[in-house]
Structure 1
């Protein structure tokens, strides 16, 4: 039925996952982050500033307030005995961890963490799955945290706290960080724009392809012009957007829908993907456009990480040389695997579910133990 899930372990310098000198895929996570994920009732969500479903930074006082409130608003779940789950977080982290853990792709993280409990937790989580963290600088100060609030329908609202968090600076990036790798995975964020531009410049000098996730509809809405400039630069090879982000990208245009956004992204990127939740995805490469339905059950326990794990599967498809439609199908399988439980970390049982779905759909099944 496919490969049995086995978390990688570091035994010698020749192992693919964590000791690879030049990981195939690198993730730029300028600020290492720890996610606190909890299922909560509607009454707490109504107190959260900003729109539901998005992701926008808050101050440390707000984050601590949310964490206190979570304790009295949590929903029980038979599948998740622990009411709150704390794991290494961040969109890029989820994608990189998924590639390493579920697909056996050698991956690394570029960024910085604080020398605190959260920072060590982040590193231990990445190390467990065999992600190369030799490019992660540890600095004095706190590690970023994010509260991920999941409602009864599985929709998530994220409020990260980046106040004074340890962060890698643009001038700290070195060509050696990127040498020998093939892909750089990034997430759009206005407060990381200088680092993003520096990373793109060096990555292109080293011959890497660039993947960009549009982050959240709130980020696109508030900082649309710098994003458009980034896309129109021609440096982004692959772009992922969900339906809300895609619509927000073209807000003010005569037509602002996922199909029009896909056409726009396809003009500037070699590959463009718009995910449509339970309706699957649409993707474009050159003149080819495909529409692929979702795979598996449509009901989500928690949508956290769905787009990030979709990206894991799609990137796996690209490095394996699969067709555009097959890349989307693998992405649909991996995206479907993470929504079956709480948080952006896929459980061993759900990796097995993904492998079965890949087998049913005639897709090449990875062996994560190699």
Structure 2
């Protein structure tokens, strides 16, 4: 079977899963897709697929397959046909007009009127440290004083979730909590005009959820233990801060700030590759033909700042040609922060505030279940030696 490859659909059929589940396996490094000459779409090595299928069916752990491979049923969002959906609604279409609050109501499965704006009951966060540290401190202080967060009923979770969203927004703006929409608060803090504010709004909507990524899986694991939403978001934030997750958008932003000083950015990007450095924010396994979120954000950004449109197009074209992959949403966030002249770290800040809505949605869904998430480890060490005679 050496050199025998399967298409994505053939692979999904052989594994008995849907295409979006297959792409989830790839995004988590459980399977690998490869470019094969003569095929437009990426292919899957048949031997690797069969080994993976056999490992999923192994019975020596005495556990169902779902506990060996962390794939969790969810009605919140899905990725299908290289588009992502929030409760069945196309996220790209929602991003045309919706606010982050609208998406929170949709993902939390509540009426928009139930998402009451908060102007009181949320403590003003301190200004010490960087954004991640401010958020951790603010969440810990709020958790210590907000005893209502112990109420894990749906109304209680919505109330706590709204408080957390307001708190994280205030950590970013370093302004007092207010009743304005999140994108309006960020726009005021960052001095944006209406066009720039609209780009930020679109980013927030498109980043609110993206199926079961690393930080969202952490959120669900914590929620499954019965911990409060403050604990859920604290743990998820820790995962997001990692250099392979939310840290990618921070690196992309740093690269674009460097490129902004160059008359021609393409040679600068080429020099990075020559130094064995990467172009952060390129490629997304779930979107072999390009991340639609990135395309939507970059298109809106070019329209909002027409005098930089040619520069933006040159960046995207050059990065795609040099990197061999299309930009993903981390690339788009870093580019947005640079072109709009946002404060350093704004790309990660947008990601954090937006994704907190998804974390809370997944926590609410997980609280509805009585199942404690308990994946199993596949032991690869020395063979056990029994001490019994």
Quickly name the TM-score band, shorter chain normalised: under 0.3
- The structure with the larger Rg is 2
Determine which structure has the larger helix proportion and give its number.
2
TM-score by length of 1: 0.23
